Amino acid sequence: MLTGKQKRHLRSLGHALKPVILIGKKEVDERLIAETEAALACHELIKVKVLENCGLDRHEASEALSAATTSDIAQVLGKTFLLYRPAEKPVIVLP
């Protein structure tokens, strides 16, 4: 679980990121979870965008993907959200 200060730090880092994962009408399935796992392993902090044709609400999608990948939600803003999971050798140093 992230503290407020840690979330604030991750939000500042994630501001300039482009969405790596897009959630469309297939919603959260096995393939999407595998792609998210790979992206988190590479980047630690990723931005996910919920497209217009997705049947899930942005909060539902963030909770489902976070639970499936054992990551933390750093921010939900508009149609995008940030997921964070530290790597084995963390690059991002949290305050």
Q: For the residues of 5-37, what is the DSSP string, one character each?
A: HHHHHHHHHHTTPPEEEEE-TT-S-HHHHHHHH
What's the structural domain count of the chain?
Answer: 1
Question: Domain of 59?
Answer: 4-84
pTM of the model: 0.93
The pLDDT profile of the chain, 95 residues, written as one tens digit per residue, is 899 999 999 999 999 999 999 999 988 999 999 999 999 999 999 999 999 999 999 999 999 999 999 999 999 999 999 999 999 888 999 99
Domain CATH for 18: 3.30.110.60
Asked if residue 93 is part of any domain, the answer here is no
Asked if residue 89 is part of any domain, the answer here is no
Asked if residue 75 is part of any domain, the answer here is yes
> Which has the closest alpha carbon to 45: 90, 5, 2, 85?
85
Phi, psi of 40 (to 5 degrees): -65, -35
The pLDDT score that the predictor gives to residue 24 is: 93
The pLDDT score that the predictor gives to residue 1 is: 85
The CB density around residue 29, as the number of other CB atoms within 10 Å, is 10
The pLDDT score that the predictor gives to residue 66 is: 97
The pLDDT score that the predictor gives to residue 90 is: 87
